[in-house]
Amino acid sequence: MTAKTAVWLAFCVGLGVSPTTAEPLGLFEAQSDVGSVTPPGTGRFDAASGVYTLTAAGANAWYREDGFHYVWKKVSGDVALQADVTWPPIAYAHEPVGHRKALLMFRQTLDPGAVYADAAPHGDGTTALQYRREKGANTQDIEINLGAAKTVRLEKRGDTITLLASFHGEPLHRMGATIKLHLEGTFYAGIGLTSHDVNTTDVVQFANVKLEAPAPLGAGKPATWATLQIIQTEDPFRRAMMIRTAPGIFEGPNRAPDGSFLLINASGRLWKVPLLNPKTPSGGEPVPFDTGAASGCWGEHGFSPDGKWLAISCSTPDNKGPDVYLVPAAGGAPRRLTHHPVSYFRGWSPDSKTIVFASVRDRWTDLFSIPAAGGDETRLTSVGNNDGAEYTPDGAWLYFNSDRSGSTQLWRMHPDGSASERVTQDDLNDWYPHISPDGKQVVFLSYAKGVVGHAMNQDVTLRLLDTATGEVRTLVDLTGGQGTLDSPSWIDKNHLGFTSYEVLPEGTP
């Protein structure tokens, strides 16, 4: 044993990992069990075929600690890892766990709770970009439910990590799964396996493996890609499911009353994105939503609680708008509700009889309410800029954002505009509060300190406020802003929709 190997073995033992170095490992330096794996996992490299075969049990790569077998190399800087992934026929008598995972992983250290990001093709065909932002934090992911990917690629460019895939031999393409994650200095890049069952040893194969510097993105004109996602909000299960991703801009996801589609706006029109599978959603091709003569529509829209109407923020041939209009929930001719452009829908009262909207008056934005049947408006605010209002399910409060304290923070008031009180107390700029159907949580969008307004393509955070305790926690960090969370976005009490963005040179696959 060389002195270098002895030092490395002692280092691994100190971390509680089980290293093996018996066989050549092709592109990689060594292999280890990360966390608890019994019996110890193995990795073999066939130089003739270029295939890596990993055998391992392990509980999972998830939650706050991982258990998997890892074949790795120390790297730094920008790097890309790519492979074809194949699950050989099982050699045990029971059905495999659907969430057994092959892993293409960048990892800060080899301890079980380390910061990491991986591309994880699952045994059931799901492919996910998984990540742990801080040591010992719960894992999060973005899942793609489009069938088994043949080839997966994980790219790191600075702090941006992106999943690409090919399903049928087509060129690798982006899947709408991109995150920001910082890996310090030297880190690990490699392939891994967890059976997702501590009592079962599984096998996976990686072929055509590449570990290389990513190619330059190009110098084309910057263009925006948009991704529509649904995220689960409980802290141990922050799973985000990719519904649709495409070049261009679409905004403001809002759930249909029957749950069959999400409503978005793009290019001044409203579109229905079908939800193809309620349990593991994926999106069908968008189809137009009929708004009659209304066009130039913005991302502020919402279905009434009784399921009869859709409020929209649009223009018509005789009104350049935008103003608030109502159309039947199934689509149809618009009925103008507000008569003071520029006005935007914000929320419905629980009884579907009143709408709250934001309107720009003398260069200030304020909140107003108006009967859904038509009639006189009522001014609710008059201090600072006020926006993003939404009723609680019991109708007792309106949550909204206001800059009256200096920075933009969340506030709440009674529906008649009385008893205003500040809700968030931090250095961030908080926008667009939306209350969960059970009234227990408020999701909102936070910009960094000093950011003025609510522009898109910014580094932002979706955060959750517990209405009982006032506690605020981070749900997900993303590139977004205007369009991310403009409309009422809760799917149910534990799931909500949002849109993220990525700016890339034109022609980027």
pLDDT at 84 exceeding the cut of 90: yes
12 confidence band (pLDDT: 50, 70, 90):
very low
Asked if 3-212 and 222-505 have one fold, the answer is no
What was the pLDDT predicted at 281? 67
Report the run of H or E that residue 13 belongs to, with start and end: helix 3-15
Contacts of 166 (CB under 8 A, 6+ apart): 149, 150, 151, 172, 173
Q: What would the mean pLDDT of 389-393 be, rounded to a whole number?
A: 98
Contacts of 208 (CB under 8 A, 6+ apart): 50, 82, 83, 84, 151
Q: Taking the domains of the chain in order of start, what are their residue ranges?
A: 3-212, 222-505
pLDDT in tens, 402-421: 999 999 999 999 999 999 99
pLDDT at 7 exceeding the cut of 60: no
pLDDT at 16 exceeding the cut of 50: no
Task: Give the β-pairing of 238-247 and 140-144.
Answer: parallel
What is the fold, at CATH topology level, of the domain defined by 3-212?
Jelly Rolls (2.60.120)
Query: What is the rounded distance in angstroms from the CA atom of residue 294 to the CA atom of residue 386?
Result: 26
58 confidence band (pLDDT: 50, 70, 90):
very high
What was the pLDDT predicted at 426? 93
Longest dimension (CA), the chain: 87
pLDDT at 203 exceeding the cut of 50: yes
218 confidence band (pLDDT: 50, 70, 90):
confident
Domain 222-505 carries which CATH code?
A: 2.120.10.30
278 confidence band (pLDDT: 50, 70, 90):
low
What was the pLDDT predicted at 280? 62
Cβ neighbours around 200 below 10 Å, total: 16
What was the pLDDT predicted at 65? 97
Answer whether 0.75 is exceeded by the pTM.
Answer: yes
11 confidence band (pLDDT: 50, 70, 90):
very low
pLDDT in tens, 438-451: 999 999 999 998 88
Q: What is the mean pLDDT of the chain?
A: 93
Q: What would the mean pLDDT of 370-377 be, rounded to a whole number?
A: 97
